[in-house]
């Protein structure tokens, strides 16, 4: 199944006192580029999420936003820096003694020096937390991939239609081409006879030379190769999955063949058809920028 590189998915759930929310969105990119934002204390999730996404996403600039909020927060522990608190108390008593100030030191007085308290975060069980996050991630990813698939189907339909248009136009070139070569050979022969006027002409040599020169202008091989590329395009599209790079390379070959046809052909009708084909190839190229 052809997939677009544009997608969006979001899911949020409350699991075991954890509110988990994950948003995934992506746009076009030549390669796979992941930007994953996770809460500061859960940085270990970043690599796990990236590894999981890599199994499902081959190309695109992917942004992932992860929110993990504990509804009952027992993750913090407060400890007292006793030595620092003692230093503050001693300093306050010295101040009272030296300046004859009433000694009214209390717990609330010392507590104002908040650097005597240290806030520590309990380490979460990484396996358990990942089990909660992966559940939400799977649901967000499902919606994300569904959107990519729907967009991809539209792109595939459009590109296959244009591929068929090119095939139809190429058949017109194939019908015109033989007569074009014959007409060009006759023009060459007539021109040679005019230049030589009444001189004796070796008819066999003349036919041979004009045939060789006219054959150089034949576009039969280019037509065959381009037709083969069109068939290959359809086959790759049926393969699905991540085919963007393959199609991009094939499109370059198709452009090369049609450019050669345009440069070798000396026919106005073919020239017009070449313009039409190049226009359709450009439209396919634009759509390919969106294919994974």
Tens-place pLDDT, residues 178-214 = 877 677 777 777 777 777 676 666 667 666 766 666 6
Can you tell me the distance from the alpha carbon of 112 to that of 104, in angstroms, rounded to the nearest whole number? 14
Q: Is the pLDDT reported for residue 117 higher than 80?
A: yes
pLDDT above 80 for 153: yes
From start to end of the chain, where are the E strands?
Answer: 7-15, 18-27, 32-37, 60-70, 76-80, 117-121
The CA distance from 55 to 134, in Å, is 14
Predicted structure pTM score: 0.70
Out of 3.30.230, 1.20.58, 2.60.40, 3.30.470, select the CATH number for domain 7-72+127-147.
Answer: 3.30.230
Which pLDDT belongs to residue 266?
A: 77
Q: How far apart are CA 130 and CA 41, in angstroms?
A: 13
Question: Which of the pair, 23 or 106, is modelled with greater confidence?
Answer: 23
Question: Residue 58: which residues within 8 A CB-CB, separation 6 or more?
Answer: 32, 241, 242, 292
Query: Residue 98's pLDDT band (boundaries 50, 70, 90)?
Result: confident
Choose among 222, 212, 215: nearest CA to 253. Answer: 222
- pLDDT at residue 217 in the model: 72
Residue-range domain boundaries for the chain: 7-72+127-147, 76-121, 150-288
Per-residue model confidence (pLDDT) at position 140: 98
User: Which of 7-16, 192-201, 227-236 shows the lowest mean pLDDT across its residues?
Assistant: 192-201
Q: Is the pLDDT of residue 12 over 90?
A: yes
pLDDT given at position 214: 64
Q: Taking 80 as the threshold, does the pLDDT of residue 45 lie above it?
A: yes
- Exposure of 127 by Cβ count < 10 A (0-12 exposed, 13-18 middle, 19+ buried)? exposed
Asked whether the predicted pLDDT for residue 14 surpasses 80, the reply is: yes
pLDDT for 199:
66
Averaged pLDDT for residues 247-253? 95
235 Cα distance to chain centroid: 21
pLDDT at 123 over 80: no
Provide the β-strand partners of residue 21: 12, 67
CB distance 22 to 140 below 8 Å: yes
Mean pLDDT score of the chain? 89
pLDDT the model gives residue 109: 86
């Amino acid at each position: 199944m052809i997939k677009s590189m544009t997608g969006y998915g979001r899911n949020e759930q409350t699991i075991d006192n954890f509110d988990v929310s994950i948003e995934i969105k992506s746009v076009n990119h030549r390669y796979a580029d992941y930007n994953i934002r996770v809460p500061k204390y859960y940085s270990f999730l970043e690599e796990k999420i990236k590894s999981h996404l890599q199994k499902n996403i081959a190309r695109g600039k992917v942004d992932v936003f992860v929110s993990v909020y504990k509804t009952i927060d027992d993750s913090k522990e407060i400890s007292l820096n006793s030595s620092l608190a003692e230093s503050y108390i001693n300093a306050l008593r010295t101040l009272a003694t030296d300046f004859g100030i009433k000694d009214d030191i209390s717990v609330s007085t010392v507590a104002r020096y908040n650097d005597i308290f240290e806030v520590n975060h309990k380490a979460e069980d990484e396996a358990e937390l990942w089990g909660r996050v992966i559940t939400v991630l799977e649901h967000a990813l499902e919606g994300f991939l569904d959107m990519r698939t729907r967009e991809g189907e539209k792109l595939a339909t459009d590109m296959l239609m244009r591929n068929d248009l090119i095939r139809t136009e190429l058949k017109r070139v194939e019908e015109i081409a033989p007569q074009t070569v014959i007409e060009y050979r006759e023009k060459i022969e007539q021109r040679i006879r005019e230049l030589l006027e009444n001189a004796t002409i070796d008819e066999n040599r003349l036919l041979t030379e004009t045939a060789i020169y006219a054959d150089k202008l034949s576009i039969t091989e280019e037509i065959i190769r381009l037709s083969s590329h069109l068939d290959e395009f359809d086959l790759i599209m049926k393969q699905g999955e991540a085919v963007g790079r393959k199609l991009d390379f094939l499109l370059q070959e198709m452009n090369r063949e049609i450019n050669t046809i345009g440069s070798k052909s000396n026919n106005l009708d073919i020239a017009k058809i070449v313009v039409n084909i190049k226009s359709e190839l450009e439209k396919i190229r634009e759509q390919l920028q969106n294919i994974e």
